[in-house]
Amino acid sequence: MKTAIFTFLLIALLTGCSHKPVTVAVPEAPAPTGEQQPSTESANTKPQDNAPVSALPPNARPLWSETGIASWYGAPYHNRRASNGEVYDMHAMTAAHRTLPLGSVVRITDLKTGSSAVVRITDRGPFIEGRIIDLSRSAAERIGIIQRGTAEVRLDVMQTPTSTATAGRWAVQIGAFEREKAARELAKHLSRKYQTANVLTFNGPVGDWWVRIRVKGDLRARAEEVLHDTKTSEGSIFLVRLD
């Protein structure tokens, strides 16, 4: 009898100590503020902004193209926060563009040599008249423009996380100013002129100063009105997409 009771208690103890597998439902991470749903412009889902750019399929065709001057940016901006929220790495295959949605994938081809590179748009710029894209140092090395500094290129938009025709969030950026005083004086003037806009003044990593005007609702049409209506004797005026 004692043996039977002992066996029963032993079985109960072992049963109580066993662990059943538990399934935990983990919700998907929320999308960043202002992010649009993937568009039908690209057959691919939105790539992660800080993910390496994979090789494009051999038959991949651009959504649209443009030609212009490419430049590159490096050390002063290295390890600083880029417009997509990630830390800029000049050794990654990335680039800055003023109006393409962040996360877009583009192919850059040097029209003189035919060399090309595929990069992801993670930052905003270049803020110099006549230039269409700022490459990371590695991307510039890939197409061979480090020594030249600039080159005429064809930019092929291969993938976008959102349709380029969607509303987006837009602003106007003015600069660069050599003196902080000049930037702040213009910002004060614009704040009085556009009372519903948010006018910001900030400095860059090379000692320059910038003014950014965020219109009510970040609407492109309003930003374009400010762009055409604003004049300054110092610096240039650019339309820039924030997302």
Q: Give mean pLDDT, residues 61-74.
A: 96
Q: What is the pLDDT of residue 40?
A: 30
Tally of CB atoms within 10 A around 236 = 13
Contact (Cβ atoms closer than 8 angstroms) between residue 95 and residue 106: yes
Closest among 133, 74, 78, 77 to 109, alpha carbons compared: 133
Helix H or strand E encompassing 192 = helix 180-193
Q: What is the pLDDT of residue 234?
A: 83
Residue 149, sorted as left (phi over 0), alpha (psi -120 to 50) or beta, turns out to be left
Residue 223: which residues within 8 A CB-CB, separation 6 or more?
A: 170, 171, 172, 213, 215, 239
Distance, CA of 242 to CA of 98 (rounded, Å): 9
Q: What is the pLDDT of residue 17?
A: 36
Average pLDDT value over all residues in the chain? 82
Q: Give mean pLDDT, residues 212-232.
A: 95
Looking up tokens 């997409």, which residue turns up?
241
Residue 147: which residues within 8 A CB-CB, separation 6 or more?
A: none
**pLDDT for 30-50, tens place per residue?**
233 333 222 333 333 344 444
Contact (Cβ atoms closer than 8 angstroms) between residue 124 and residue 168: no
Q: What is the pLDDT of residue 167?
A: 81
Contact (Cβ atoms closer than 8 angstroms) between residue 135 and residue 144: no
Q: What's the pLDDT band for 53 if we cut at 50, 70, 90?
A: low
Residue 184, sorted as left (phi over 0), alpha (psi -120 to 50) or beta, turns out to be alpha
Q: What's the pLDDT band for 99 if we cut at 50, 70, 90?
A: very high
pTM, two decimals, is: 0.78
Q: What is the pLDDT of residue 38?
A: 29
Higher per-residue pLDDT: 188 or 6: 188
Assigned token pair, 182: 């000049």
Residue 93: which residues within 8 A CB-CB, separation 6 or more?
A: 52, 53, 117, 118, 119, 120, 136, 138, 139, 142
Q: What is the pLDDT of residue 54?
A: 60
Distance, CA of 191 to CA of 63 (rounded, Å): 38
* Structural domains in the chain plus CATH codes: 64-159 (2.40.40.10), 170-241 (3.30.70)
Q: Is the pLDDT of residue 27 over 60?
A: no
Q: Is the pLDDT of residue 16 over 60?
A: no
Give me the percent of the chain exceeding a pLDDT of 70: 77
**pLDDT for 137-163, tens place per residue?**
999 999 999 999 999 999 999 999 998
Q: Give mean pLDDT, residues 95-107.
A: 97
Q: Give mean pLDDT, residues 5-27.
A: 35
